[in-house]
Amino acid sequence: MYQDGNALAGPLTEIFAVDMTSAESVCAGCGRAGAVASLRVYWHAGDAVVRCPGCEQVVFRLVRLENRLCLEVTGLRRLTFS
Amino acid sequence: MKWRVATVVESRAETATARTLVLDVPDWPGHLGGQHVDLRLTADDGYSVQRSYSLASPDRVEIAVQRVDDGEVSPYLTDVFAVGDAIELRGPVGGWFVWRPAATEPVLLVAGGSGIVPLMAMIRARRAAGSKVPFRLIYSVRTPEEIFYADELRRPDPGVDVSYVFSRKAPEGARRPVKRIGLADVTTHGWPPDFQPSCFVCGPTGFVETVADLLVAVGHDPSRVKTERFG
């Protein structure tokens, strides 16, 4: 099962100064727009794979490596903050 | 955001398998109903685990923990963790699944099991703010014994309507057949879409999917249906 983007609110404060889960993201695959909070989060040993609820494509991944935190954004077209 | 040390100041049983914990966090900045905190436990060998918990109250750092028998964290928090103990905490976090006291539209809250926690924070925030915005809560639980905040919800504030969906066992005299939440529950106890309510749905993933689909199917604007799922 998956959780949703709300669960990333804490981890994403390690990178961003503003709340990222309220930002609107646009999927690079299908163009669906919606809050980061509404994306699907699959956890794999502490790493988060975040998928689009519209097309299931990976939007971004949050990966922890030793003392580094890596955000891979291959499936993200745009982020809008309001 | 930094991790801080929180200390348990109150611990009480919410149901036979769930506990409410109130934490003291120095310099807490305050929060909105619906926001959550992350808790981190670290073992002596450095292994650490994190979990997110919704805040249950608008003015203090209160969470509720549902015991999951084979869980890595919850049995510790419900059975071992006691007043005076400390834990690492980060928060408040999350700015999307929140109710702001200045909001004027009617509110529909739909809770599945322990998904009641952030919705209870919104009901309490409404009370704390003296808001007159009408709220409706549909609370789905398996059995009457599993109701969180039972006393408080038995005497809801004026303008807050509470209805229950029992999925395994109902109290005596209940008219609704025992079954999972369905279309009739949402149309009977929710708001008509014309009222343009804000809808907040929280619970297990399958429950949230079902309810969100029902709300959109009866005509609620998807952008007004906010969801929070746990695994």
The reply to whether omega before B92 is within 30° of 0 (cis) is yes
pLDDT tens digit at each of 231 positions of chain B: 899 999 999 999 999 999 999 999 999 999 999 999 999 999 899 888 889 999 999 999 999 999 999 998 999 999 999 999 999 999 999 999 999 999 999 999 999 999 999 999 999 999 999 999 999 999 999 999 999 999 999 999 999 999 999 999 999 999 999 999 999 999 999 999 999 999 999 999 999 999 999 999 999 999 999 999 986
Contact B146, B15 (CB under 8 A): yes
Which residues in chain A have their CB less than 8 angstroms from residue B94's CB? 6, 9, 19, 21, 37
Q: Per the CB < 8 Å rule, is A21 touching B91?
A: no
What is the pTM assigned to this prediction? Answer: 0.96
Asked casually if ipTM beats, i.e. exceeds, 0.90, the reply is yes
Distance CA B166, CA B141 (A): 5
Which residues in chain A have their CB less than 8 angstroms from residue B90's CB? 10, 13
Could you tell me if A57 lies within 8 Å of chain B, comparing CB atoms?
no
Q: Per the CB < 8 Å rule, is A4 touching B36?
A: no
CA-nearest residue to B37 within chain A is: A10
Sequence-distant (6+) residues with CB within 8 A of A6 are A21, A37, B36, B52, B94, B96, B97, B228, B229
Q: Which residues of B touch A (CB under 8 A)?
A: 1, 36-38, 50, 52, 90-91, 93-97, 205-206, 226-231
Q: Give the closest-approach CA distance of B100 to chain A in angstroms.
A: 14
Give the SS3 label for residue B48. Answer: strand
Q: Per the CB < 8 Å rule, is A19 touching B96?
A: yes
The arithmetic mean of pLDDT across residues A44-73, rounded, is 93
CA-nearest residue to A15 within chain B is: B1
- Burial class, A49, CB count within 10 angstroms (exposed 0-12 / middle 13-18 / buried 19+): middle
Could you tell me if A47 lies within 8 Å of chain B, comparing CB atoms?
no
- Tell me the two tokens of residue A29: 């695959």
Could you tell me if A35 lies within 8 Å of chain B, comparing CB atoms?
yes
Could you tell me if A9 lies within 8 Å of chain B, comparing CB atoms?
yes
B122 strand-pairing partners: none
B108: enclosing H helix or E strand: strand B107-112
Could you tell me if A13 lies within 8 Å of chain B, comparing CB atoms?
yes
Distance CA B104, CA B119 (A): 17
B154: enclosing H helix or E strand: helix B150-154
Q: Which of A1, A6, A11 sits opposite B228 (nearest CB)?
A: A6
Distance CA B123, CA B120 (A): 5
